[in-house]
Structure 1
Amino acid sequence: MGQLDGKIAVVTGGNAGIGLATARRFAAEGAHVFITGRREVELEEAAAAIGNATAVPGDVSVAADVDRLYERVRERGQGLDVLFANAGINHIATLDELTEDVHDAVFDVNVKGTFLTVQKALPELNDGASVILTSSTAAESGSAGMSVYGASKAAVRAYARAWAAELGGRGIRVNAVSPGPVDTLLWDTAFGERAGEMLDTVAAGLPRKRVADPDEIAAAVTFLASPQSSFVYGANLYADGGMNQI
């Protein structure tokens, strides 16, 4: 038996990177996984690769899209046991380069999107469900060019604490996971041609001299999703290779 046998899970940003790796892991542990993301073709391909998955295209920062996601979950008739609010974007810009439009776009997806994803899930969440939010080591470090991303992830961390207090009476556990550097396309989006160079530079400062594989973050998220973490509420699980710990 898997750790999530018979469970229903939702993974936002489930078409690539950490979201896709986690959706695969949830399915392998026995869950039926609903994945959502903005790139429909990529999302459908991801669902086919996962197997026990349903693709629901949408943008987490758009309330109507999130409503449509949970309509599909409701149609299945089993409620929701695991919610991984993972969708997020990054934009590298120093304070003088940062524009209002970019600032709003990052907060719309990372903060408003997380809020909508969890709030609109409330009627579907079964008692004892697990909610996991993706924060980041950037929420606590002061990296140049990462101010808007770090601020958005600090807000997500604050959500995890408050929502754990609010939903704990139903046995719903809300926790955050804070990945460090992970080898995903987010680096290419943020740094373009310099992505490989930046990954190598960051890896050199870590104890293992490498960045994480998305499957390693998926393992941490699965721990928070499973009964193995039954007494963990409001925590922030660092899966950062020691970046913010040493």
Structure 2
Amino acid sequence: MNKFNNKLAVVTGGNSGIGYATAKELIAEGAKVIITGRRKDAIEKAAEELGAIPFVADQGKLEDIDLLKKEIEEKHGKVDILFINAGITGTLTSIENMDADNFDNVMNINFRGAYFTLSKFTPILHDGASVVFLSSNVATTYKPNSSVYQASKAALNSIAKTAASELAPRKIRVNMVSPGPTKTEIMTKAGLDDETLKGINEWLIDAIPLKKMGTAEDVAKLVVYLSDSHVASFMTGTEIIIDGGMIL
């Protein structure tokens, strides 16, 4: 019997990368999975491939989160697994040259949107549910030209730990997964060309003791582990870094 039979999971940003891989793992383990994304064509295509339920929603827009919650409540009931995954890097630039639009865009999706996804979903989480935030190992690094992205993930970790404390009486566990460099589309979406990406990837691999980049599937398996109330029943408020030893 699959471990997530009769369980409802929600994965934000589920049309590609880590979100897609996690939805695939959850479905393989028997879960009914709702995936969200901003682009209708992309989210519907991914849902068809996966056997998931698509919902068009932008995590940066509170009205979209409200609509998602209402749809789930009316059609599916309560949620067992919530993977708050959607996020962007934004434009990588110095503090001196940062513009307010980029700052707001990154914070609205990575922090504000994630915060209010949990806030609005809390009443429709089953007691004993699992919440996992996708953070990043940059939450505890301070590299030049990445100030806003780093700060958004550090803020995310802070609220996740507070949520773990608040939701513990309901046996709802809240954990964080913080990947290092992972082969996904997020850097391409940041507007970097192939040559720049190649140079960054080579530099990153050189900085990782295991001398390789992670995969979306690596991260997905960890999210699924944390979502299992049997094997991870004593884990909450925990950040697991999965980065090949990069921050050693």
| Same fold? TM cut 0.5 | yes
Name which of 234, 242, 245 aligns with 2:245: 242
Check whether the contact 1:135–1:176 (CA below 8 A) recurs between aligned residues.
yes
SS of the residue 1:33 aligns to:
strand
Supply the distance in 2 between the matched residues of 1:145 and 1:122 (Cα, whole angstroms).
Answer: 35
Q: Does 1:199 align with 2:198?
A: no
The answer for the alignment partner of 1:63 in structure 2 is 62
Displacement of 1:65 after TM fit? 0.7
Displacement of 1:11 after TM fit? 0.4
Supply the distance in 1 between the matched residues of 2:75 and 2:191 (Cα, whole angstroms).
Answer: 40
Letter of the 1:231 counterpart: F
Supply the distance in 1 between the matched residues of 2:219 and 2:33 (Cα, whole angstroms).
Answer: 17
Supply the distance in 2 between the matched residues of 1:166 and 1:233 (Cα, whole angstroms).
Answer: 11
- The two structures have a TM-score, normalised by structure 1, of 0.96
Q: Does 1:189 align with 2:192?
A: no
Supply the distance in 2 between the matched residues of 1:97 and 1:2 (Cα, whole angstroms).
Answer: 51
The answer for the alignment partner of 1:103 in structure 2 is 103
The answer for the alignment partner of 2:71 in structure 1 is 72
Q: Does 1:119 align with 2:119?
A: yes
Displacement of 1:21 after TM fit? 0.6
What do residues 57-78 of structure 1 show as CA deviations (whole Å, max 9, x unaligned)? 0111212211111222223344
What do residues 61-118 of structure 1 show as CA deviations (whole Å, max 9, x unaligned)? 2122111112222233441000001111112111122111111111000111101111
Supply the distance in 2 between the matched residues of 1:113 and 1:238 (Cα, whole angstroms).
Answer: 22
Q: Does 1:177 align with 2:177?
A: yes
Displacement of 1:190 after TM fit? 2.6
Name which of 215, 229, 234 aligns with 1:231: 234
Check whether the contact 1:60–1:87 (CA below 8 A) recurs between aligned residues.
yes
For residues 19-98 of structure 1, the aligned pairs below 5 Å read 19-51=19-51, 53-91=52-90, 92-98=92-98
Check whether the contact 1:208–1:241 (CA below 8 A) recurs between aligned residues.
yes
Percent identity over the alignment is: 39
Check whether the contact 1:38–1:59 (CA below 8 A) recurs between aligned residues.
yes
Supply the distance in 1 between the matched residues of 2:8 and 2:116 (Cα, whole angstroms).
Answer: 19
Supply the distance in 2 between the matched residues of 1:226 and 1:67 (Cα, whole angstroms).
Answer: 27
Supply the distance in 1 between the matched residues of 2:76 and 2:89 (Cα, whole angstroms).
Answer: 35
Supply the distance in 2 between the matched residues of 1:77 and 1:123 (Cα, whole angstroms).
Answer: 14
Letter of the 1:168 counterpart: A
Supply the distance in 2 between the matched residues of 1:72 and 1:33 (Cα, whole angstroms).
Answer: 14
Check whether the contact 1:61–1:116 (CA below 8 A) recurs between aligned residues.
no
Which portions of structure 1, spanning 4 or more consecutive aligned residues, are displaced by more than 4 angstroms?
Answer: none
- The two structures have a TM-score, normalised by structure 2, of 0.95
The answer for the alignment partner of 2:216 in structure 1 is 214
Displacement of 1:23 after TM fit? 0.8
The answer for the alignment partner of 2:155 in structure 1 is 155
Displacement of 1:145 after TM fit? 0.9
Q: What is the number of residues matched between the two proteins?
A: 244
Q: Where does structure 2 lack aligned partners over 5 or more consecutive residues?
A: none
